[in-house]
Amino acid sequence: MRLRHYHRFPRIRSHIAGTCYTPKQLAAFYGLPTVAGVGAGKKVAVVELGGGFDQKVLDAYFKSLGYPSVLPVIFKSVDGAANQPNDSAGDYVEVMLDLCVIGGMAPGCQMLCYVAPNTDQGFLDAVQQAVDDKIDAISISWGGTEDSWSPTALSALNKAFQAAAAAGITVTVASGDNGSSDSEAGNHVDFPASSPYVCSCGGTSLPALSPSSEVVWNDGTQGGATGGGVSTNFSLPSFQAKAGVPGGKMRGVPDAAGCADPNTGWLIAADASGNMVVGGTSAVAPMWAAIAAYLMQCTGKSAGEISALLYSLPAGCMRDVTSGNNGTYVAKAGWDACTGQGVPVVAKLLTALQAPAPAPTPPAPTPPAPTPVTTTRTILVTGDSLTVKVDGKAV
């Protein structure tokens, strides 16, 4: 049975007229180099709950971007799932979006596609298999409202993300495309985006390749808006202690953002019939996975809990998005529940991560122990007189 609480997040615009960008264009906009070697030596996985990919279509697409040598995607079947690039549910669009974004922004990496059944166990098994395979970054564009998960399933998957972070694996997750309500009454956030062990990825609208044009994604005419808000399951992580999360007690979502509005969307290869424009926070999770691969490639470090790193970086590593809302929550200076810490300035992120750690402060010198003083007392008794000498002197 297909579980409804696992929804995919791509927003499809059937035509390619109007404003849209290739992954290569958006890589340049956010500061990634647009050369073939970006991400080389790193393994980036996508976790999918259905669908599949067409390698020939991907090859042609990457060649059109000027990257003819992108490595073939490695297919990983989880619990018997098959690669179905033309599945009736349309999940192949999600898979192709994820792979086009990663391969178009980090064309030197090795991509792996873990396809699992759309069940609690399938989702968990796919994540655990990717962790066991020692992947460098994992992108997930699936999820559901926190209250749609059983406590058992939510806890098991969160433990898998904790294991990934402990192993130095970055996990990036789409925050959802239905605003602060997440398609329910009141305010809700999506899981696994709300896990404290993942980098939760929100969305912006980018009418032009200009920083001043970027605002929170909230398309009132089509009902799409970036997910974000406050978790009801996870306590405030230490890295958000000074972020100003509403209430100050629970995990805030998202951590970071990127272009997601389908009206200013990503031009990808959907199938052999041609390209299409797709948006949603589904595009932002693989974008951040590609960025993580590049940062790891250049620094030689594992990113691990990249979400925590984003809160301790010098000013300028993230560009704040301060205009717009996702329903209840309004963008502001600093962290907010629309775009988190903002969008990346990759060159400055890299500089900050390459900076040597400050030299440890040497311990204060221990003063020498005082030399003990030896005192000699001599007492002389002569008749009726008594003489006391200390160190040879009469006192």
Residues with a catalytic annotation lie at 94, 98, 282
The Cα–Cα gap between 43 and 36 comes to 15
200: left (phi over 0), alpha (psi -120 to 50) or beta: beta
CB neighbours of residue 111 within 10 Å:
28
The strand ranges marked E within 28-73 are: 43-48
Taking a C-beta distance cutoff of 8 angstroms, is the pair 388, 394 a contact?
Answer: yes
Structure tokens at 157: 């998957």
Longest C-alpha distance within the chain, in Å? Answer: 128
- Provide the residue type at 361 as one letter: T
- Provide the residue type at 343 as one letter: V
Taking a C-beta distance cutoff of 8 angstroms, is the pair 109, 123 a contact?
Answer: no
Phi, psi of 253 (to 5 degrees): -125, 135
- Give the list of residues 6+ apart from residue 233 with CB closer than 8 angstroms, or none: 146, 154, 191, 194, 250, 251
In 3D, which of 337, 321, 288, 287 has the Cα closest to residue 214?
321
The angle that helices 23-30 and 284-299 make with each other, rounded to 10 degrees, is 60
The Cα–Cα gap between 87 and 164 comes to 30
The Cα–Cα gap between 32 and 389 comes to 86
Q: Between the CA atoms of 144, 225, 238 and 44, what dihedral angle is there, to the nearest 10 degrees?
A: 70
The Cα–Cα gap between 140 and 193 comes to 9
